């Protein structure tokens, strides 16, 4: 039985009742209570990017925020980007470019790039989106390739 009090979070489009203690991070609760294992702790101090989730469309480190603070938010994880079995375009681009090796960091990269794509075009910065993410396997070349594909596809849709 998990300690703490009951709390309602909106995650991946669904209201979820979870239990959380005051010192639980959002990362703790997403993993322990909801089994959303795409968010992972590598550093626990907001530097590696592996725990990235979307808060109302913005990428945040879920290890740095308390679960109790997240009650008003609309939270999306990499699991929640999949719609009707279809990968999000960023996920598809990562598959097409094979932009991963051990893949522990991958959902974090995906979440930041998806959040960037949701921004108005003039505010998008690939550099900013990628800057908070570490890939120790060094898949950077293929990640850059995936980003190129994402941006090219996006420009095409904009023009279309």
Partner 1 sequence: MIGQSAQVSDAFERVTGRLGYVINHEPPGTLHLALVRSDVPHAEIRSVSTAVAQRCRGVVLVLTGEDLKGIGIRPRFGPVYRDQPVLAIDRVRYVGEPVAVVAATDARLARAAAAEIEVEYHELPAVFHPKDAIAPDAVILHEQTDEQGPKFADIILQGRKGNVCNMFTLRHGEGLDGFRYADRIFENEFVTPPVQHVSMEPHAAVAVFESNRLTVTTCTQTPYAVRDALAYMFDMPASRVRVIVPPVGGGFGGKTYAKVEPVAALVARYTGRPAKIVLSREEEFATNSKHQSIIRLRTGVTSDGLLVARQVDALFNAGAYSDISPRLIKNGGYGAIGPYRIPHVHVDSRAIFTNLPSSGAFRGYGVAQGAWAYESQMNIIAAGLGIDPVELRRRNLLGEGDSFATGETLHDVHFREVFDDALSLFDTDTDTDAAPPEHDYIKRGRGCAVIIKSTITPSTSNATMKVNVDGSVQVLTSTVEMGQGSHTALAQIAAEALGIPYHDLQMVGPDTDVTPYDLTTSASRSTAAMGEAVRDAVAQVRQQLVTHAAKQLKIAPDDVEMRDGVLRQRGTEGTLSLGQVVSGSKLGTMTATGSFVSEGGLDAATGQGIASHHWHQGAVAAEVDVDIRTGKVRVTRLRACAYAGNVVNPVNARMQIVGSIAFGLSQALFEQIIYDNGHVANQNLSEYALAGRVDMPADLQISLMENSETTEIHGLGETCLPPVSPAIANAIADATGIRCLQLPMTAERIINLAAEQ
Least separation in angstroms between residue 67's CB and partner 1 is 13
Task: Pick one of 69, 71, 95, 118: the residue that binds partner 1 (CB under 8 A).
Answer: 95
Six-digit token string for 74: 């609309």
Q: Residue 23, interface with partner 1 (CB under 8 A)? A: yes
Residue 43 touching partner 1 (CB under 8 A): yes
What whole-number distance in Å separates Cα of residue 100 and Cα of residue 155? 24
Of the two residues 9 and 147, which places its CB atom closer to partner 1 in the complex? 147
CB of 119 to partner 1, least distance (A): 20
Strand order in the sheet with 5-11: 14-20, 5-11, 74-76, 52-55, 58-61
Candidate residues 27, 29, 34, 39; the one interacting with partner 1 per rule CB under 8 A: 39
- Choose, by CB under 8 A, the member of 27, 29, 68, 105 that binds partner 1: 105
Among 56, 57, 71, 103, binds partner 1 (CB under 8 A): 103
Percentages helix, strand, coil for the chain (3-state, rounded to 5) are: 40, 20, 40
- Token match 């097409």: residue? 96
State yes or no: residue 112 binds partner 1 (CB under 8 A): no
Residues 67-86 that bind partner 1 (CB under 8 A): 77-79, 81-82
Task: Check binding of 107 to partner 1 (CB under 8 A).
Answer: yes
Task: Provide, rounded to whole angstroms, the least separation between the CB of residue 159 and partner 1.
Answer: 26
DSSP string, 46-85: SSS-TTEEEETTEEEETTSSBGGGGTT-EEE-GGGG-BTT
Hey, what are 98's tokens?
A: 């094979």
């Amino acid at each position: 039985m998990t300690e703490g009090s009951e709390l309602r979070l909106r995650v991946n489009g669904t209201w979820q009742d979870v239990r959380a203690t005051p010192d639980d991070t959002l990362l703790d609760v997403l993993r322990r209570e909801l089994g959303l294992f795409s968010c992972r702790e590598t550093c626990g101090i907001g530097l590696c990017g592996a725990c990235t989730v979307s808060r109302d469309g913005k990428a945040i480190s879920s290890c740095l925020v308390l679960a109790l603070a997240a009650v008003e938010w609309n939270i999306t994880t990499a699991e929640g980007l999949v719609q009707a079995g279809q990968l999000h375009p960023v996920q598809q681009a990562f598959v097409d470019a094979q932009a991963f090796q051990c893949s522990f960091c991958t959902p974090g990269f995906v979440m930041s790039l998806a959040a960037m794509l949701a921004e108005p075009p003039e505010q998008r910065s690939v550099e900013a989106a990628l800057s908070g993410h570490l890939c120790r396997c060094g898949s950077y070349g293929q990640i850059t390739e995936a980003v190129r594909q994402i941006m090219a596809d996006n420009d095409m849709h904009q023009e279309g």
